[in-house]
Structure 1
Amino acid sequence: MSDQNDKLKQLKTSSMDRRLSIAKASLLAGTRWAASSATTMFSNEADKEKKRKKAMKEQADYLVSEIGKLKGSIVKIGQMMALYGEHFLPEEITQALNTLNNQTIALAWPAIKEHLEQQLGSKLNDLTIDHEPLGTASLAQVHRATRKSDGLEIVLKIQYPGVADAIDSDMSLFKNMLKLTRMVPQTREFDQWFDEVREMMHREVDYDIEAATTRRFAERLKDDPRYIVPQIIDDYCTDQILCMTFERGVPINSPVMLSLPQERRNQIGEASLEIAVREIFEWGEMQTDPNFGNYLVRLGNGSDSQDKIILLDFGAIRQFDEHLLSVARNLIQAGYRHDSDEMVRAMTGYEFFDSIPQSIKPDMAKVFLLATEAFSTTANNPDLPEGVMDEQQRYDWKKSQLHSRVMQRASKSMASRYFSVPPKEFMFISRKFIGAYTFMTVIDAKTNVRKMVAKFL
């Protein structure tokens, strides 16, 4: 158990304090960046690039360390930019921003208790609450509790006070920070993604939306024994507290999980991917955060008790229009058939793909064919790596390392002068599938994805 002295006594949500901190850090980083650029003026191109990358990494690391000190919504903004900003942020900046995931510090219990008293009033007396959080994040922390009247075990997702009100000002701070450093090109795509991150931030702190989404997914999956969705407990929900049942499980990368028999891991892996497929083909909305912390597994006994995936977080939900869903479904179907011409046709009629010269589309099709490799078969896909699919058409995710190969191929495509930043909706979908692929790779699952996808085509 961590000491209370290691925790924050309060969050800095004063816009003046935060603005001054970021302004000073940005100006210092920008000055250093300009100075480093000047020192490379007479270097050859190779040395210039090497020094440029080194200087950018140093300044990015410095800025991120300053952001981490502020906590709250600006940290979440940085985390989101790391997750989705790879197409418009330099690699050195996204790598630095990724470290923010390791910098979350809990708010100390006295501050949390005071916040709970303000939110729940006398209802707080109904509960016995663990002072030590189950988990902490940039916008909230989670505490386990027990209802005294009946012993019901629940969790309280407690939004940090002031973070919702600070989102817009923190977004402006973050954007100005990147402008002041002069390390990021200011483009239309950059502005569009910033607007999208702003919308996502506001949705993530809207607990009414998250509660409603949790209920929708619970209703959809109530008759499927492979999944558990926590039940929302309205009595202790407010605009800054989300209360739900406590669900026991183990992390997907825990030793006990990884030591399960192969067949049980296969079934868990298939269930994880089927969620993403159903989101595209049936539900039209997707939980877009692929973080492993959003899943647990409740282990069965291998005979009469089934392993179940616990779906924990529905804050990062994204709804898609029918046109986009139709394109995504057609791309998956072309991958199922492993047909390059069909893949090119599936791109037609969507602005992003239509803007790509016809001569470039076959290369883009290869990226999608690779991404849907597991949906193909040895009979129609001569490009399948040797040994990744067995005689039962089960795809070996660990051996294939598909998630890594897709990222590498996509990076090469992005180097094309015809490439532009893809629509944010496609980024969300691709992130979700890459997350599912990584899930199955981590647990070393072997699954007949083709059979699972066939029922939706």
Structure 2
Amino acid sequence: MSVNKPTYSEPLDAIKTSAFDRRLSIAKASLNIGKRWATNSAFGLFKSKEEKNLQKQAFMREQAQYLVIELGKLKGSVVKIGQMLALYGEHFLPPEITEALQTLNNQTTAFAYPIIQSALINELGEKIHEFDIEPTPIGTASLAQVHKAVHKATGETVVFKVQYPNIADAVDSDLDLFRQLLKVTNAVPQTRQLDEWFEEIRDLLHHEVNYLLEVDTTELFYQRLAGDERYAVPKIWREYSTARVLCMSFEAGISIMNEQMFALSQDRRNAIGQASIEIMLREIFEWGDMQTDPNFGNYLIRLAEDSNTKNSHLTNIDKLVLLDFGAIRQFDDNLLKIAKDLLIAGFYHDREKMAQAIEMAGQFYPFFTNINPQIKADMVDLFLLASEPFSLPSQNPDMPTHVLDDKGYYLWDKSDLHNRVIKLASKSATSKAFSVPPKELMFISRKFIGAYTFMTVLKAKTQAEYLIQPFVR
């Protein structure tokens, strides 16, 4: 769960969780959108083609903003669906829609504590009296909010991640309602790709609202990283966790955007960056379990001087705190093999090996077989560029000189890699021969984009040998 700091001005004291209320809200929004569309079309009858295109673009942006406002009122899985489409819908949604949906991350209004308290009592009964719970949340999200608490018997500080009432039961109907709302905008083509993505989102949401699955995954990562002091994973309190309430240790830390981060030495920032990239690579290439939400809110940094809290032993290094294990997606061995082959080709900046890896991927994903030779050649260029930070400078003549310092360290904040990748990718995406990539590839792509952004903000420096060597043996 990517958690945002909540706004406290007007906590909501009601949530529309019944199917009737939510359908009524969507129906009203659909009716208003339909009326707006008809009116806009009427006013455009006598305009030139160029004027109509400009009018349509402006109107689409207005419609998208209205759509987001209406979705934000509902909270719950409707908002989560919008956030997922904003993240992965760039290939099948108009840019005006995806841009507007991205603002759903700002819907952080907290719900009044009586609603949360009622949910806690419903799930835990008398057990909640074993804690002193802070009524003001320390974070909110589309499906739940987080409250800090102290266990009276032990004095340990924990957090309760409390799912909003009836949200889990509304997932399927919310998906149908969201599709209906998109349909009446006349802006989104009703394609097979859209159908597939809605089914993917359905699976992800059903997984994410079942906190017992998150309990298992959190404990799995806790065990995997227990011997590595660079990471902190919350400890689960199973006795106080259910399918709708998650209880875990409170893990202190600061956001990567905190000004304290920018005062750290280069070596400390490099170490944090190394740890963040390593965990991503292990998720994809070693474990096959990947956190699919690259939001910065899913990570905190516990600075070395702040590591002597009640819930952690004193250390001399900065820790990367991993908070969210609800949006985990598992990949099969075939995809892991493809990903590793692509990484190895990128490490050596080997164009022939990269082309072979893409060709081999076609055995499992027809997308790679069906694309025409020009698009395939462009894809080789794209993957080689995207793997630039993980390539050996001695093997990569295409690497710009300004992205390396005098010791051969890659300068993430100087590289402008994200924009270069986007520019090259858009060249293929605008081709009539281009089709929507496999969902798995888009998940991994977004994961890397999130990691690139993290490293750029951190102004970290890395060396490919230390990053990739363990994964290319």
Report the counterpart of residue 354 of structure 2 in structure 1.
343
Q: Please report how far the alpha carbon of residue 43 of structure 1 lies from its aligned counterpart in structure 2 after TM superposition.
A: 3.8
Report the counterpart of residue 243 of structure 1 in structure 2.
247
After TM superposition, the structure 1 stretch with the greater mean CA deviation from structure 2, 390-399 or 140-149, is: 390-399
Q: 2:447 aligns with which of 421, 432, 455?
A: 432
1:362 aligns with 2:377: yes
Q: Please report how far the alpha carbon of residue 38 of structure 1 lies from its aligned counterpart in structure 2 after TM superposition.
A: 4.5
After TM superposition, the structure 1 stretch with the greater mean CA deviation from structure 2, 323-332 or 264-273, is: 323-332
Q: Please report how far the alpha carbon of residue 4 of structure 1 lies from its aligned counterpart in structure 2 after TM superposition.
A: 6.7
The 1-side partners of 2:352 and 2:49 are apart by 41
Q: 1:373 aligns with which of 370, 384, 388?
A: 388
1:320 aligns with 2:323: no
Q: Mind listing any 5+ residue stretches in structure 1 that lack a counterpart?
A: none
Q: How is 1:395-406 mapped onto 2 (pairs within 5 angstroms)?
A: 395-406=410-421
Q: 1:75 aligns with which of 52, 73, 79?
A: 79
After TM superposition, the structure 1 stretch with the greater mean CA deviation from structure 2, 143-152 or 23-32, is: 23-32
Give the aligned residue type for 2:404: M
Give the aligned residue type for 2:351: S
Report the counterpart of residue 435 of structure 2 in structure 1.
420
The 2-side partners of 1:355 and 1:372 are apart by 24
Q: 1:26 aligns with which of 27, 30, 34?
A: 30
Contact 2:6 2:110 in 1 (8 A): no
Q: Please report how far the alpha carbon of residue 21 of structure 1 lies from its aligned counterpart in structure 2 after TM superposition.
A: 1.5
1:140 aligns with 2:151: no
Q: 1:298 aligns with which of 292, 302, 305?
A: 302
The 1-side partners of 2:139 and 2:375 are apart by 46
The 1-side partners of 2:51 and 2:339 are apart by 43
Report the counterpart of residue 94 of structure 1 in structure 2.
98
State the identity as a percent.
55
Q: Please report how far the alpha carbon of residue 155 of structure 1 lies from its aligned counterpart in structure 2 after TM superposition.
A: 0.5
Report the counterpart of residue 311 of structure 2 in structure 1.
none
Q: Please report how far the alpha carbon of residue 42 of structure 1 lies from its aligned counterpart in structure 2 after TM superposition.
A: 4.6
Change in 2 beyond 3 A, CA 1:433/1:125 = same
Q: Please report how far the alpha carbon of residue 16 of structure 1 lies from its aligned counterpart in structure 2 after TM superposition.
A: 1.5
Change in 2 beyond 3 A, CA 1:79/1:392 = same
The 1-side partners of 2:328 and 2:42 are apart by 45
Q: Please report how far the alpha carbon of residue 410 of structure 1 lies from its aligned counterpart in structure 2 after TM superposition.
A: 1.6
After TM superposition, the structure 1 stretch with the greater mean CA deviation from structure 2, 38-47 or 349-358, is: 38-47
Q: Please report how far the alpha carbon of residue 252 of structure 1 lies from its aligned counterpart in structure 2 after TM superposition.
A: 1.0
Instruction: Give TM-score, length-normalised by structure 2.
Output: 0.93
Report the counterpart of residue 105 of structure 1 in structure 2.
109
1:221 aligns with 2:225: yes
After TM superposition, the structure 1 stretch with the greater mean CA deviation from structure 2, 402-411 or 350-359, is: 402-411
Deviations 1:320-362 (A, max 9, x none): 1111111111111111111222211111132211111123211
Report the counterpart of residue 330 of structure 1 in structure 2.
341
Deviations 1:392-428 (A, max 9, x none): 3211000012123222322222111111111111111
Q: Please report how far the alpha carbon of residue 181 of structure 1 lies from its aligned counterpart in structure 2 after TM superposition.
A: 1.9
Deviations 1:235-261 (A, max 9, x none): 211111001000111111100012100
1:16 aligns with 2:27: no
SS of structure 1 residue aligned to 2:246: strand
Q: Please report how far the alpha carbon of residue 179 of structure 1 lies from its aligned counterpart in structure 2 after TM superposition.
A: 1.2
The 1-side partners of 2:371 and 2:105 are apart by 35
Q: Please report how far the alpha carbon of residue 391 of structure 1 lies from its aligned counterpart in structure 2 after TM superposition.
A: 3.5
Report the counterpart of residue 180 of structure 1 in structure 2.
184
Deviations 1:102-133 (A, max 9, x none): 11211101111122112111111110011110
Contact 1:374 1:450 in 2 (8 A): no
After TM superposition, the structure 1 stretch with the greater mean CA deviation from structure 2, 386-395 or 412-421, is: 386-395
The 1-side partners of 2:265 and 2:437 are apart by 40
After TM superposition, the structure 1 stretch with the greater mean CA deviation from structure 2, 217-226 or 353-362, is: 353-362
Contact 1:33 1:56 in 2 (8 A): no
Deviations 1:137-195 (A, max 9, x none): 01000000000111011000000111000111111000011112211001000100011
Aligned-residue RMSD, C-alpha: 1.8
The 2-side partners of 1:49 and 1:378 are apart by 46
Contact 2:290 2:330 in 1 (8 A): yes
Q: Mind listing any 5+ residue stretches in structure 2 that lack a counterpart?
A: 307-313
The 2-side partners of 1:2 and 1:254 are apart by 17
The 2-side partners of 1:15 and 1:369 are apart by 48
Report the counterpart of residue 448 of structure 1 in structure 2.
463
Report the counterpart of residue 405 of structure 2 in structure 1.
390
Question: Any runs of at least 4 consecutive aligned residues in structure 1 with deviations exceeding 4 A, and if so which?
Answer: 1-5, 301-304
1:309 aligns with 2:311: no
Contact 1:340 1:362 in 2 (8 A): no
Instruction: Give TM-score, length-normalised by structure 1.
Output: 0.96
Give the aligned residue type for 2:281: V
1:149 aligns with 2:153: yes
Contact 1:272 1:309 in 2 (8 A): yes
Change in 2 beyond 3 A, CA 1:436/1:3 = closer
Q: Please report how far the alpha carbon of residue 48 of structure 1 lies from its aligned counterpart in structure 2 after TM superposition.
A: 2.8
Q: How many residues align?
A: 457
Change in 2 beyond 3 A, CA 1:34/1:6 = same
Report the counterpart of residue 293 of structure 2 in structure 1.
289
Change in 2 beyond 3 A, CA 1:396/1:103 = same
SS of structure 2 residue aligned to 1:244: strand
The 2-side partners of 1:348 and 1:42 are apart by 51
Contact 1:290 1:436 in 2 (8 A): yes
